[in-house]
Structure 1
Amino acid sequence: MGCTSYLDAGRISEAVELLERVVADQERLLGGEHPHTLTARANLAASYLHAGRIAEAAELLERVVADQERLLGSEHPSTLTARARLAHVRHAGGS
């Protein structure tokens, strides 16, 4: 069962745990600046949001946006998507 399936089934804590392992593995195997690692972090932030862990989601997405801007540029589609996700998280958190 994939992370999205866990979220869809309401198994949020399992999705978070799985994505935390994915991020750790991606960082170890590919490095912290690899595009797949950045995507995994963004997905983990989304699962944090589903779990009500808004501050953690915002903090993680802020790092993702900063890394993507530095590595891919401020107008890259992945950077724009991450920035939109960050805006959504900030709105959800009331900030």
Structure 2
Amino acid sequence: MPWASYRQAGRTGEAIGLLERVVADSERLLGHDHPDTLTARLHLAVSYWYAERRDEAIDLLLQVLADRERLLGHDHPDTRDAADALRSWRML
């Protein structure tokens, strides 16, 4: 995942730019509800978090969580992971 390499190299801004394009392309090509689109949004939220864009990160994670709850159910591991991340971010 090139975006992760950018982020690990301290190039979070470039990772965000890449992920924003990935999210837009995924939504256009796969649809808003496709699992890969949701994962791309989650990765973008994490990059926002690392870039100290905390409000944007939480807003986007809330959207991912709502979509996962609607599509996968409350007990799905991906839904629980998103909920756990949101809880931990809110505690910081």
Q: Give me the TM-score of the superposition, normalised by structure 2.
A: 0.95
Q: What are the superposed Cα offsets for residues 22-69 of structure 1, whole Å, 9 maximum, x if unpaired? A: 000000000000011001000000000000000000000001001100
Distance in 2 (CA, whole Å) between partners of 1:29 and 1:40 is: 13
Cα RMSD over matched residues? 1.0
- Structure 2, gaps ≥5 residues long: none
Percent identity of equivalent pairs? 57
Contact 1:49 1:57 in 2 (8 A): yes
CA displacement at 1:13 relative to structure 2: 0.2
Equivalent residue, structure 1, for 2:54: 54
- Map 1:2-81 → 2, pairs under 5 A: 2-81=2-81
Instruction: Give aligned pairs, total.
Output: 92
Segments of structure 1 that go 5 or more residues without pairing to the other structure are: none
> What displacement does 1:84 show?
1.4
Whose relative contact order is higher, 1 or 2, with alpha carbons under 8 Å and at least 6 apart?
A: 1
Q: TM-score, normalised by structure 1?
A: 0.92
CA distance in 2, matches of 1:89, 1:20: 21
